Chain A
Amino acid sequence: MSIADLAPHRFPAAWRWVIERVWRLEHAFERAKAAGKAEDDTRLRILFVLAVFGLLFLFAGVGATFAALFSDAGKGGAGAGLAVNARADLVDRNGQLLAMDLVHYAVYVDPNEVWDRSETRKGLLGVLPQLPGKRLDKALAGKQRRFIFGGLTPDQKRMIHDLGLPGVSFEPEVGRSYPLGNTGSHLIGFARPDGSGMAGAEAGLEPALVAGAKDGKPVALSIDLRVQGALEDELAAAAAEFRPRGAVGIVTDIHTGEILGMASWPDFDPNRPGAASPDQTLNRAAASVFEMGSTFKAFTVAIGLDTGVATPSSMFDARTPFQMGYRTIHDYHGTNRILSLVEVFNHSSNIGTAKLAESIGPERLAGYFKRFGLTRPANIELRESARPLTPKVWGADDIASVSFGHGIDVSPLTLAQAMGAILNGGNMIPLTIRKQKEGYCPKGVPVISEKTSMTMLQMMRANVVGGTGRKADAVGYNVGGKTGTGEKYDPAIRAYSGYKQIASFAAVFPTDGPVTAKRYFVLILLDEPQGGIRTGGIVAAPAVGRLVERIAPFLGVPRRTPTIPMIGMTPVSPEDGL
């Protein structure tokens, strides 16, 4: 009987062959023993042991050769490992670099290894004239290895290395760098040296930045650097002219919610955030809330149209101040006549708007305001997004105030988000600072009808053609908009100040074309502008006009035949309304 017979027959022939060979070898020992040839038995066993060791050696040799030639150990080279605090690059929507990790070098001095102190001192100061001499002297006179200076470029490191100074050594350090300096500083934000984001996109997009570093892919922001540059330039020009306490500029795509430009003035250099004052680092676009004033009339009018309470031709008596609750409402420049809704909007009549709000009713108005997102922080990735200050109870007084933008404080981003819903066909779309794919079109939550949205576009255009926003008209871009001038509460006098104001202009362009046409929202806001007349139409609207003229070519908006909206109205001077 063969041992092969014990094996299941399903085993392959090779397996049976091996078993038979082993069996025969074992029998060879037995046969040699039985034949009385003990030496044969010993030789066989020696052969067997040798063969086993030979095979083992062969396997070990092949394994060692394979490991030596084809192992992954050491692959990637020196210094190629990912730093613990690595973050992905931040780029704008066109791939322009905004923030990046850069390897710098820190130089150390060990006085125990220094041969010639004066030579070391001279050599280091020759390459690094900015090196504090006192610190170097202290290190050279000490007993331990000390950090001397950081942030060396590879060229500076090489120059020092080439000096061949004993006791001088280097250590690599990864730091976050913002090559654009102040440009886009509030949107980009900044990160701590340990790699954690502190503000702006650096904080808001933390997971994406960490994941991007592992994949080696940059994170693209929605901003267009050209738009951002023009926005900051116009904001700085307006700030230089009107010397405000602060200023904000925002440009968004109303169909995608993408922020194309966002600026807060004054700004700061994110490379040295510690050198900036809290006023500079404050992101007024996201983290500050303001009583926007008359830009809110756009919401009240849109709600009035959407609920069917009013039509563009509905008439409102603005001849006398209007009593609502405990409040008596006046117009900034009283028209003392009966106004159509379009004229109420163009003259920025508080009386007309309050009467419209009364007709709408507190419940419906509050409901719409909530659906417009005016009672919540703007839905955006930025952690700074501030919560609005809203009335606790929507009573008659509050309704009157809120209808024309008083008694409710929202951030400029919240306003931009809500304005987008008015102008994009009526859908509430969250804002985003991340670049979206081509053709991205979020569905959003319907707030008002498409018809109301189109009417609002016409009314906002009418306001620029013949209303308080005339200074925002950029020829051929059919700009529409609404001025806003909100009085600020002054704690010193415990009342609203007649001197401290928020002047803004909320614009949209182009207003012509179908509801799906590419359209952009622009907001310019100045906090406490100085000078004579400081209304939104005088302070902010001209900056919007200049800005639209500059950014429209970047956004692919060609000049077109200027449109004059349908509704007849009496011409209004920009000084006349809020």
Chain B
Amino acid sequence: MIGALFNHRTRGFRTINLVGMALLIAMALTVNLAKTYAGRERSQIDRIDRRIVAEQQRIRLLQAEVAHLEQPNRLEKLSRETLGMAPTTSKQEVSVAALPQAAGQPVEPVRIATAVVASPEPKADEPKAEEPKAPEPEPAKPVEGVKR
């Protein structure tokens, strides 16, 4: 049987040699293709990795910038100067239990507009009657009663 395997010829070439050659070429091609494919994949991975690293560095920079901008002293200065804010005091706080008592207190009415006597159409160059203004916030203080 082994002898037949070696003796069999195809167009003058030993079949075993042809099969071996075909296998050899197939394997060489496979390895070559695999290497090429892997090289391409690797360069793509490297490119993406570099981009990730660059993005990570950028994120780190942005984090540092955020931390820098959120410095407590800077925020406090901005809050005081631009928003007029200040730490809350005991007068600005009320407990839940004390809410009904605070709600029951009569509140002094706040004047929101000056009464204007009805008059004929104002002239073009005359200033118009003052628009009603929104009540200005006032600091909470104990109210003695409504003035009648």
Residues on A facing B (Cβ under 8 Å): 28, 40, 43-44, 47, 50, 54, 57-58, 61, 64-65, 68-69, 74-80, 96-98, 100, 102-103, 153-154, 177, 179-183, 225-226, 228-230, 232-233, 474-476, 546, 549-550, 553, 558-559
Contacts and interface: CB of A to CB of B under 8 A. Distances in A.
Nearest to A57: B27
A97 B3 CA distance: 80
B30 A65 contact: yes
Given A476-B90, A549-B87, A559-B93, A154 B58 contact: yes
Nearest to B77: A233
Contact of A77 (B2, B30, B45): B45
Contact of B34 (A54, A65, A80): A65
- In order of increasing CB-CB distance, the 9 nearest A-B pairs are A77-B49, A229-B72, A179-B67, A475-B90, A68-B38, A97-B67, A179-B68, A179-B64, A65-B34
A57 B24 CA distance: 9
A181 B46 contact: no
Interface string B87-108: 1111001010000000000000
A162 to B, nearest CB: 15
A96 B20 CA distance: 68
Nearest to A232: B73
Contacts of B95: 558-559
Decide if the interface of chain B is mainly helix, strand, loop or mixed: helix
Nearest to A172: B57
A177 B64 contact: yes
Contacts of A64: 31, 34-35
Interface residues on B, range: 35 or more
Contacts of A61: 27-28, 30-31
B22 interface: no
Contacts of A76: 49
Contact of B72 (A47, A69, A228): A228
A28 B6 CA distance: 15
B27 A100 contact: no
Nearest to B89: A549
Contacts of B20: 50, 54
A154 B3 contact: no
Interface string B33-77: 011011100100110111011100110110111111011110110
A474 to B, nearest CB: 8
A546 B85 CA distance: 16
Contacts of A550: 87
Contact of A97 (B27, B46, B54, B64): B64
B52 A77 contact: yes
Q: Which residue among A68, A226, A549 has the maximum number of chain B CB atoms within 10 Å of its CB?
A: A68
B23 interface: yes
19 contacts: A57-B27, A64-B31, A68-B31, A69-B34, A69-B38, A78-B46, A97-B63, A97-B66, A100-B60, A102-B60, A103-B57, A153-B61, A154-B54, A179-B67, A182-B73, A228-B72, A230-B72, A476-B93, A549-B87
A229 to B, nearest CB: 2
A54 B49 contact: no
